[in-house]
Chains A and B, each alone.
Chain A
């Protein structure tokens, strides 16, 4: 068969040839129409929905005991948990998160205003559209701004230390440098403060997930 196929040995009349050309084009057109009709919903269905991301926006009350501990703590950050109801696709889950709470003296706050001026005088359009350091508290996101590992407070160093790639941050979240002036670890920015306030006597925080590994703070999601 194949190349020797009988029908193909006959070129046909000129009308027949042009008819075949038309049929070939019509076939391609039909196939393309089907493919496009399918492609639009197929591709569209894969785009994440912003509405579902925003569904998780909002403040969550901090664990009372742990926050009370922070109020007494002057030298050390305190890990404070909170439980957040999140919309996870078609699941609605209650998940534990934590932040690193810092109680700042006025001197420390002044220090922070100076060293992390970008947080206190944000550029228009910045993700920091909320007051930082209000009531002399700062709540740092528990995610390292490098690649979102969980960092910990190292009492020996007197600094936050990220176990993944060794970035160090001081108590007010500044990315620390070594004796030669080089940054310790690859973090692109200091620790990220989260929106914090007190309402009706309850301390609450808004969890925001910021983009990893960018010099600027960019909002990604709320869970």
Chain B
């Protein structure tokens, strides 16, 4: 049977070739990062395929279908969280792999092109983080991507083209989602798989570089099972960490993107914190330095490293320039990342509008399954969907919370709030005309630093009536309904 397959495919001898590769200097845990990255890439592909079964890229359905994955798909929250944490794991493992190759001097002749392919992969994977970030279409996805594509637009000459290509128009919308989706699930993965194939092919052509010494190896280890065992240990460990994180801290999904929300503070993914920090360090008139020049320089140095570093030695002691330079770069990157994390954390603490997730880690316990979009016939949709709840979820929940519990210090709760359940005219007037200044609710004070906006120009009288009726009857409140006629009378 094995002979039969072998004679027709050559697969058996190819596998044997693969497994009997020599490992110069013996198997080592230093070499596990590449294969662990590959395993996590596989996890990303597999979970991504399943997410594709449910996800729908349009501004009407992206957030809703994402929430559907959390609420209605068996194991959906776990799968989306595996994908979420897997992205971070990819970037960490890939960086470790890059650093190991850098420190061991494995990028030197004859492995220059293998290094170049690896660096390309590094940036392409980072771009996956960028395109995937928009897809859930929550507040953070929307506003963080807004920032990202405007930075791309600021690149001299080609910037406007990149901007128009990515957003497919002048506004972040359904067509933008389509482009990001196409890039995230088709174009970029195809490039990654192709380049990983090339990376491995060149790797096999050159064979392992071995330890960072200048003498050729005398001792050789077995790839299978010794090195593969170590690779497995590292991969299983990485996977186990992702699984635990996916269980303990499921990926957060914030409220649906609302282009009118002027208070929400977006944050990039942590692996872009360093870029964010740079952006904050330079004054406006030098803004091209952090957005284009420094990242461009960083990219070029990494790509061209095998030619910039002409030193033929691999032993650490004989590379007095590259090693300190690498250590300094990493320390700087980590430093700026930590600095940015602090800035972002402080700003969000000051204005936590919309930062409470609807699903995932930190979200209130989810209610019964509620399909969230009402389409087609308005009259039937009105009968089918509780309009007040929808108006609330889209306009009010980012401050007052999906459960009407408010935000401590900033926004008062509506559940159990006597003002809400009291005079219907007063609460309706507050929704129509807004509110300002500090207030005290049930003995707890709220700063009112961010005022309650006036909704009379944004919501119809019917919507105001529906949402006031909703907040007066939800979360244990029991007060009378308000009609559109009452709202019209008050708004005059």
Contact = CB atoms under 8 A, between A and B. Distances in A.
A binds B: yes
Interface of A: 1-3, 5-8, 20, 23-24, 26-27, 30-31, 33-34, 37-38, 40-42, 44-47, 49, 51-52, 55, 83, 85, 87, 89-95
B239 interface: yes
A90 to B, nearest CB: 4
Given A2-B16, A2-B20, A45-B73, A23 B225 contact: yes
Interface in B14-59: 16-17, 20-23, 39, 43, 46-47, 50, 53-54, 56
Contacts of A95: 376
B225 A92 contact: no
B375 A30 contact: no
B21 A5 contact: yes
Contact of B384 (A30, A40, A42, A85): A85
B373 A49 contact: no
B371 A6 contact: no
A3 B376 contact: no
B72 A52 contact: yes
B17 A91 contact: no
B64 interface: yes
Nearest to B228: A27
Given A2-B17, A2-B20, A5-B21, A87 B371 contact: yes
A94 B384 contact: yes
Contact of B20 (A3, A37, A45, A91): A3
Q: Which 4 A-B pairs have the closest CB atoms?
A: A94-B380, A41-B75, A85-B384, A90-B68
Classify the interface of chain A: helix, strand, loop or mixed. Answer: helix
Contact of B76 (A2, A20, A45, A94): A45
A78 B203 CA distance: 73
Chain B contact residues: helix, strand, loop or mixed:
helix
B380 A83 contact: yes
B381 interface: yes
Given A34-B239, A83-B380, A3 B43 contact: no
Interface string B55-86: 01000010011011000111110110010000
B405 interface: no
Interface stretch (B123-131, B157-165, B216-224, B352-360): B216-224
Contacts of A5: 20-22, 220
A38 B22 contact: no
Interface stretch (B143-151, B187-195, B229-237, B429-437): B229-237
A1 B76 CA distance: 46
Contact of A37 (B16, B64, B220, B243): B243
Contact of B233 (A30, A42, A47): A30
Contacts of A45: 50, 53, 73-76, 79
A31 to B, nearest CB: 6
Nearest to B369: A51
Interface residues of B, number: 55
Given A37-B239, A45-B76, A49-B74, A90 B380 contact: no
7 contacts: A1-B17, A8-B22, A34-B236, A37-B243, A47-B74, A89-B68, A91-B375
Given A34-B39, A41-B75, A94-B376, A46 B50 contact: yes
B226 A20 contact: yes
Contact of B17 (A3, A47, A87, A89): A3
Interface of B: 16-17, 20-23, 39, 43, 46-47, 50, 53-54, 56, 61, 64-65, 67-68, 72-76, 78-79, 82, 207, 220-222, 224-226, 228-229, 232-233, 235-236, 239, 243, 369, 371-377, 380-381, 383-385
Contacts of B20: 1-3, 5, 8
Contacts of A51: 72, 369
Given A42-B50, A85-B384, A92-B384, 18 more contacts: A1-B207, A2-B17, A3-B16, A27-B228, A27-B232, A30-B235, A33-B236, A37-B239, A41-B75, A42-B46, A42-B75, A45-B76, A47-B74, A90-B64, A90-B68, A90-B373, A92-B372, A94-B377
B39 A90 contact: no
A55 B370 CA distance: 10
A89 B369 CA distance: 11
B66 to A, nearest CB: 9
A5 B17 CA distance: 9
B222 A20 contact: yes
A87 B235 CA distance: 41
B22 A44 contact: no
Contact of A23 (B226, B243, B369): B226
A85 B21 contact: no
Contact of B23 (A7, A23, A27, A42): A7
Contacts of B224: 24
Contact of A92 (B75, B243, B371): B371
A38 B79 CA distance: 9
Contacts of A93: 375-376
Contacts of A46: 50, 53
A38 B229 CA distance: 20
A37 B56 CA distance: 26
A162 to B, nearest CB: 28
